[in-house]
């Protein structure tokens, strides 16, 4: 069970797992649209939300139980492997249920837009996370200023792409932009709150992993 030789490898593997997991969310909406007929789409999307909410509520509880169970002497490591059987089950279901179809020949993965968007996000996030541990070097103070420039480059590229990563007209929609800002503030605040509370419950209060997961369901685990 000790597959990671050092903490750096573990963090890197988790970052990759999270990145690929994030890619699955928009894919899920596309799969629903391709799998269900038009008349059944409202019901399918109506079930999608509650399932996501249930997973968010049950995740901390199940994670605490798995970490505390210490199955096969794995300790907390089992929480990283729980995605393996779920992924295999989802893959088997996709092979049986998701229809095979031909992709639109005019659509291409917008790599030229992904690169500046990813670099701009890293320029903002990395100094905020690692800057204090590195002693706040000068580059950690200057790099966040490059983030908005990267997003400007991203926006200019989007206007010229035949298959843009984000339709430029969306940013002109006030409801869309306000929703993005609210979601950003909510999830940034809630994720930080979850981290602090987890450390507090298991640190000063001395709760077990199971005890830490039990208070989680009443907390707001869904979208704003």
- The three-state DSSP-derived secondary structure of 89-135 is HHHHHHHHHCCCCCCCCCCCCCHHHHHHHHHHHHHHHHHHHHCCCCC
Mean pLDDT of 159-187: 77
Span 155-180, mean pLDDT? 76
pLDDT in tens, 13-72: 877 877 777 777 777 777 888 788 888 888 888 887 788 777 777 777 777 777 777 777
What is the separation, in whole angstroms, between the first and last Cα of the chain?
Answer: 37
Kindly report the pTM of this predicted structure: 0.53
Tell whether the model's pLDDT for residue 118 goes beyond 70.
yes
Q: For 83-117, what is each residue's pLDDT tens digit?
A: 788 888 888 888 887 777 665 555 666 677 778 88
CA distance linking residue 5 with residue 140, whole number of Å: 29
Is residue 210's pLDDT more than 70?
no
């Amino acid at each position: 069970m000790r597959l990671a030789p050092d903490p750096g490898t573990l963090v890197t593997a988790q970052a990759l797992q999270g990145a690929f997991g994030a890619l699955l969310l928009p894919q899920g909406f596309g799969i629903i649209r391709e799998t269900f007929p038009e008349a059944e789409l409202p019901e399918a999307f109506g079930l999608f939300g509650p399932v996501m909410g249930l997973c968010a509520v049950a995740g901390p509880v199940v994670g605490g139980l798995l970490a505390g169970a210490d199955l096969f002497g794995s300790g907390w490591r089992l929480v990283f492997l729980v995605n393996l059987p779920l992924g295999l089950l989802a893959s088997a279901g996709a092979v049986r249920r998701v229809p095979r179809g031909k992709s639109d020949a005019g659509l291409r993965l917008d790599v030229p837009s992904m690169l500046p968007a990813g670099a701009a996000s890293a320029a903002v996030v990395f100094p905020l996370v690692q800057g204090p541990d590195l002693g706040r070097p000068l580059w950690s103070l200057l790099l966040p200023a490059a983030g908005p420039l990267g997003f400007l480059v991203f926006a200019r590229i989007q206007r010229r792409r035949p298959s843009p990563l984000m339709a430029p007209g969306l940013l002109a929609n006030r409801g869309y932009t306000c929703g993005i800002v609210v979601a950003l503030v909510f999830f940034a605040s809630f994720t930080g709150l979850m981290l602090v509370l987890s450390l507090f419950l298991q640190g000063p209060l001395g709760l077990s992993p199971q005890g830490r997961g039990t208070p989680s369901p009443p907390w707001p685990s869904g979208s704003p």
